[in-house]
């Protein structure tokens, strides 16, 4: 009897405890509001996919992560981390689609944490019923079923197939790497520098830099059109996919493929064709200049003394506010002047070099906010005989975009001497040197007089069947519709026999030679642009504009491309037009 009573007592206590537990749990839920979020396990989601159940996958991963790894059928919103108005605006784009359905919504974020919870809360606040909302446990990082991670939008192409199709009319190969990589610098693990032969250059960074309308125009100008087969490659698949998905999702391109092996595999096979800018080393990146300043040994640098020059026209105030560390300022007024704005005398150039410490053996890196100013100074340095002159591709803007620091104040020219930066171990040391008696540039200036020609020489060039006097001007300047907007002369027209080398929209812009990010336009496009006007590497070509800035930039482009017989016609249209005895033409010469 006692045993029976004991058993009943135990059962009673168990029941009381169970009821109490349930009651306390209910109380706790009431007190805390219960579990705020509901979850799908990866296993449950996999089963739902395989059973073809109706549900919506809302993926908030950043676009690059989504391109690399997402679950089949997911809607890419790229809204992560869902903190700003801009993030939430990306979710707004799919609200109508979500509200049209009654299906469950499973939110996928990188790890199933705060981003997913904020998405859950935001969708709920926008009228999505909470009973439909779920979060994928542990997000994309915790998804173990690789067979269900696919990218159905972008095809891939093998090395063998690409090699077979290369050069066909309907194929466009697009290189999405940096300018430096495309031009020839080996930045990763490629065996050979440069790009796949015939590839056009469209850096993936432009997707963030340009508006859609600009992107569409740029793609069209490069021949990347929807009626052709597009193959994209880079260093990373994610970079290629980013452009590929933009073409398919935003512009409705149909035939887009990714070359997954990229330049590393292609360059390893010497039988596969590649191209590069012949003198690519003269066009350097911000990273190269940073390494130089930091006392490192960037590729192709031989350890010589160097000077970095910030140049422009009357922009010393801008220089003082911030410039690349160690750089000095050289105004273009130091190398050209009135009345014709031709280059100054050789004696004045020698004095400039003496003040700035430049000899023929100095490495000179030139940069500017305005590429034309840099081109003008570089052409003068080449004329004088500086053996190693380089341009910072993209100029001041590229340095800032790279996130490198600026130096304020002034690096003064040294009276009676000059400053140099010497590499000592892994650091730089600034030295002030005095000119010794008899010391000078190291050669008689000009070492290369052939790089600049005058009016009589230009007239002789026009008589030569192999000669090309190249007008680097806007189309309206070339046909004589206007004078490009010059403030100090009004004459319009062109030199008879000159050919149009393109320029830009007016005398103060050079869009035909500079990309939207201020880097130099890819050289195959310039070659084609010139070839259309019968300007070719084998010609003897003199480039001119109004007074030398655009002509100098074009001449440097030709030099980068390895052209030999090139020069700047210094007097240009300004000097030519001041003499009433010189003939002038108007209109399109191709229609005559």
Spatial separation of the C-alpha atoms in residues 97 and 92, rounded to whole Å = 10
Q: Six-digit token pair at 514? A: 């500079």
pLDDT in tens, the chain (592 residues): 444 454 444 444 444 444 444 344 344 333 334 458 999 999 999 998 888 888 999 999 998 888 778 888 889 999 999 999 999 999 999 999 899 889 999 999 999 899 999 999 999 999 999 999 999 999 998 888 866 765 556 888 999 999 999 999 999 999 999 999 999 999 999 999 999 999 999 999 999 999 999 999 999 999 999 999 999 999 988 889 899 999 998 999 999 999 987 999 999 999 999 999 999 999 999 999 999 999 999 999 999 999 999 999 999 999 999 999 999 999 999 999 999 999 999 999 999 998 898 999 999 999 999 999 999 999 999 999 999 999 999 999 999 999 999 999 999 875 444 455 555 565 666 665 554 444 589 999 999 999 999 999 999 999 999 999 999 999 999 999 999 999 899 999 999 999 999 999 999 999 999 999 999 999 999 999 999 999 999 999 999 999 999 999 999 999 999 999 999 999 999 999 999 999 999 999 998 6
Task: Please report whether residue 480 resides in a domain.
Answer: yes
Q: What is the pLDDT of residue 276?
A: 98
Residue 1: inside a domain: no
Q: Are residues 403 and 463 in the same domain?
A: no
* pLDDT at residue 73 in the model: 81
**Hey, how many other C-beta atoms are within 10 angstroms of the C-beta on 436?**
7
Cβ proximity of 123 and 82 under 8 Å: no
Q: Do 422 and 455 reside in the same domain of the chain?
A: no
The CB density around residue 542, as the number of other CB atoms within 10 Å, is 26
> Is the link from the previous residue into 339 a cis peptide, with omega within 30 of 0?
yes
Please report whether residue 303 resides in a domain: yes
CA dihedral 286, 329, 307, 430 (to 10 degrees): -100
Residue 308 and residue 278: Cα distance in Å, rounded?
23
Q: Are residues 184 and 246 in the same domain?
A: yes
Selecting among 247, 258, 545, 561, the annotated active-site residue is 545
At which of 111, 130, 148 does a domain end?
A: 148
| Residue 309 lies inside a defined structural domain of this protein | yes
Residue 253 lies in a domain: yes
What is the end-to-end Cα distance of the chain in Å, rounded?
A: 127
Given a contact cutoff of 8 angstroms between Cβ atoms, the answer to whether 166 and 173 are in contact is: yes
CATH number where 483 lies: 3.40.250.10
Q: Catalytic annotation on 545?
A: yes
* 26-68 pLDDT tens trace: 443 333 344 589 999 999 999 988 888 889 999 999 988 887 7
| Pairing mode, strands 342-343 and 363-367 | unpaired
290 located within any domain: yes
Assess whether 231 and 334 both reside in one domain.
no
Any domain includes 11: no
**CA proximity to 585, closest of 508, 520, 513, 491:** 491
Q: Are residues 346 and 376 in the same domain?
A: yes
Assess if residue 240 is contained within a domain: yes
Domain termination site, one of 225, 257, 275: 275
Together in a domain, 352 and 410: yes
Helix then strand then coil, in percent of the chain rounded to 5, is 40, 20, 45
- 198 dihedral zone (left: phi>0; alpha: psi -120 to 50; beta): left
The verdict on pTM exceeding 0.85 is no
Give yes or no: residues 354 and 428 share one domain.
yes
Residues 428 and 293 in one domain: yes
The total of structural domains in the chain comes to: 4
Q: Does one domain contain both 176 and 193?
A: yes
Q: Which residues contact 160 (CB under 8 A, 6 or more apart)?
A: none
Q: Say whether both 248 and 159 belong to one domain.
A: yes
Pair 425, 559 in one domain: no
Segments forming the whole domain that contains residue 117: 39-148
Q: Are residues 408 and 316 in the same domain?
A: yes
Q: Which of 384, 407, 434 is the last residue of a domain?
A: 434
């Amino acid at each position: 009897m006692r045993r029976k009573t004991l058993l009943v007592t135990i059962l009673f206590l168990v029941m009381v405890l169970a009821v109490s537990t349930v009651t306390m749990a209910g109380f706790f839920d009431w007190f805390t509001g219960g579990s705020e979020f509901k979850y799908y396990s990866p296993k449950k989601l996999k089963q739902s996919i395989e059973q073809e159940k109706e549900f919506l996958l809302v993926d908030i991963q950043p676009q690059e992560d989504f391109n690399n790894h997402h679950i089949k059928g997911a809607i890419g919103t790229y809204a992560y981390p869902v903190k700003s108005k801009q993030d939430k605006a990306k979710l707004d784009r799919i609200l109508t689609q979500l509200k049209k359905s009654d299906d469950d919504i499973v939110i996928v974020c990188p790890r199933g944490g705060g981003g997913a919870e904020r998405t859950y809360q935001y969708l709920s606040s926008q009228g999505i019923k909470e009973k439909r909302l779920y979060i994928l446990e542990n997000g994309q990082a915790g998804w173990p079923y690789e067979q269900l991670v696919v990218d159905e939008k972008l095809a891939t192409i093998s090395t063998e197939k690409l090699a077979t199709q290369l050069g066909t009319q309907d194929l466009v190969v697009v290189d999405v790497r940096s300018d430096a990589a495309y031009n020839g610098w080996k930045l990763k693990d490629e065996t050979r520098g440069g790009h796949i032969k015939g590839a056009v250059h469209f850096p993936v960074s432009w997707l963030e830099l340009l508006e859609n309308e600009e992107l569409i125009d740029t793609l069209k100008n490069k021949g990347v059109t929807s009626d052709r087969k597009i193959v994209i490659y880079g260093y990373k698949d994610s970079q290629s996919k980013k452009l590929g998905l933009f073409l398919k999702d935003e512009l409705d391109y149909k035939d887009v493929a990714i070359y997954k092996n990229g330049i590393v595999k292609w360059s390893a096979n010497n039988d596969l064709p590649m191209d590069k800018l012949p003198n690519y080393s003269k066009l350097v990146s911000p990273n190269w200049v940073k390494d130089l300043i930091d006392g490192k040994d960037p590729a192709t640098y031989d350890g010589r003394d160097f000077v970095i020059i910030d140049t422009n026209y009357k922009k010393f105030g801008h220089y003082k506010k911030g410039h690349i560390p160690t750089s000095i300022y050289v105004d273009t007024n130091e190398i050209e002047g009135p009345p014709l704005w031709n280059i100054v005398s050789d004696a004045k150039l020698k004095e400039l070099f003496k003040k700035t410490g430049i000899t023929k053996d100095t490495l000179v890196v030139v940069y500017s906010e305005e590429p034309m100013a840099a081109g003008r100074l570089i052409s003068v340095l080449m004329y004088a005989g500086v053996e190693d002159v380089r341009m910072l591709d993209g100029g001041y803007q590229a340095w800032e975009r790279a996130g490198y620091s600026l130096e304020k104040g002034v690096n003064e020219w040294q009276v009676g001497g000059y400053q140099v930066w010497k590499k000592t171990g892994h650091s730089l040391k600034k030295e002030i040197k005095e000119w010794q008696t008899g010391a000078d540039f190291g050669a008689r200036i000009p070492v290369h007089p052939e790089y600049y020609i005058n009016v009589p020489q230009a007239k002789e060039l026009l008589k030569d069947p192999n000669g090309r006097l190249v007008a680097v001007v806007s189309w309206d300047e070339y046909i004589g519709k206007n004078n490009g907007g010059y403030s100090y002369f009004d004459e319009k027209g062109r030199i008879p026999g000159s050919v149009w080398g393109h320029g830009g929209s007016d005398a103060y812009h050079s869009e035909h030679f500079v990309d939207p990010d201020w880097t130099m336009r890819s050289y195959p496009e310039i070659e084609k642009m010139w070839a259309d006007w019968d300007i070719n590497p084998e010609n003897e070509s003199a480039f001119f504009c109004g007074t030398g800035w655009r002509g100098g930039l074009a001449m440097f482009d030709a030099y980068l491309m390895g052209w030999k017989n090139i020069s700047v016609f210094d007097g240009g249209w300004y000097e030519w037009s001041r003499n009433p005895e010189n003939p002038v033409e108007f209109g399109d010469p191709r229609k005559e």
